[in-house]
Amino acid sequence: MRVATPRIPVLAAPTAAGKTAAAFALARASRARIEVVSADAMQVYCGLDIGTAKPSADERRRLSHHLIDVVEPTAGFSVAAYVRLAEGAIADVLERGALPLVVGGTGLYLRALEEGLPGTPPADRERQAEIEAEMNERGLDALVAELHRASPSDAARAGRNPRRIVRALEVLRATGRPASMHGRRPPRFRYRTAVLLPGAAVLEGRIRERAREMIARGWLDEVVRLAPSMPQWATAAQAIGYDELRRHLEGAWSLDRALERIDGATLRYAKRQRTWFRRTPSDATRWHAPAEGHLDDLLRWLEHDGAADGAEAPHA
């Protein structure tokens, strides 16, 4: 059944572009009652607080956030798990008569929400472990070649990323078809996206300043608390800064060197995000500046298209 449901607003931007502050400003200024649905792959992990720029507990009491502190860092967390929980949160917010605002910079999460999840079978860790062992024995090139023979486009999409190659071969061997032939299931909601794209030089200054502010706020203490569990971290091990600061605390690196490494890794990540959001989604509204330079524009964007437009109603 189709009923009047607004398209869900999405605010996307690279790291350090001011997304969180913008969400709070919009919540204060908007006529709608806003609840934030986070789209950040590292903020789902409990305990990774300062280093992931997670809103504080006090901030979350003032503005409801969902999809933060979902799992322990020793647990895996997939795009499919994110979509399932995010769609559930969006449906709950709508049920309460509030407006869900999706805020984040994890492009894979946002694309899966907006385009639907791939129709591939769920990941099988045993099968993946077998392929990983095979990769260690035969080398990455042999597995890339196998994938390329079956589907050059899937091989190009995976690049030389071992994790993506393993997943692509898992699907290929289990189903006899490359992942690209499985299609996608329809998304549960329709979305409209605003993207903030500050220039590289602007982001660089903000990234460097933010890392040092995080140190001042107690990031080192956070790493000390988390360090015993870090060898068992799953996807959380990709969080920038934690391993670098652990090395500093163990005496391998000076703090300046650790911060240089953190700056470099964060800048590379921001560059990948800027590349992604320049083209995805194609129909997004884009501003080439940090959030604080466009708060009035963002408010107009948020409230302009909130009217019902016949999107699919939430369903189980």
Q: Are 244 and 287 in a shared domain? A: yes
Provide the domain limits for residue 223: 8-117+187-304
CATH number, residue 168? 1.10.20.140
DSSP-based three-state secondary structure for 10: strand
Q: What is the pLDDT of residue 76?
A: 87
Q: How far apart are CA 33 and CA 212, in angstroms?
A: 34
Please give the structure tokens belonging to residue 278: 């320049």
Q: What is the pLDDT of residue 315?
A: 36
Considering its fold, how many domains does the chain have in total?
2
- How does residue 191 score in pLDDT terms, banded at 50, 70 and 90? very high
Q: Are 166 and 272 in a shared domain? A: no
Per residue in 60-79, pLDDT tens?
999 999 999 999 999 989 99
> Residue 33 pLDDT more than 60?
yes
Q: Are 108 and 218 in a shared domain? A: yes
In a 10 Å sphere around its CB, with 0-12 CB exposed, 13-18 middle and 19+ buried, how is residue 61 labelled? exposed
Q: How far apart are CA 292 and CA 42, in angstroms?
A: 24
Instruction: Give the pTM.
Output: 0.85
Q: What is the pLDDT of residue 293?
A: 85
> Could you tell me if residue 314 is inside a domain?
no
Q: How far apart are CA 291 and CA 103, in angstroms?
A: 12
Q: Are 79 and 200 in a shared domain? A: yes
Q: Are 97 and 146 in a shared domain? A: no
Q: Are 139 and 112 in a shared domain? A: no
Q: What angle do CA 273, 230, 117 make, to 5 degrees?
A: 40
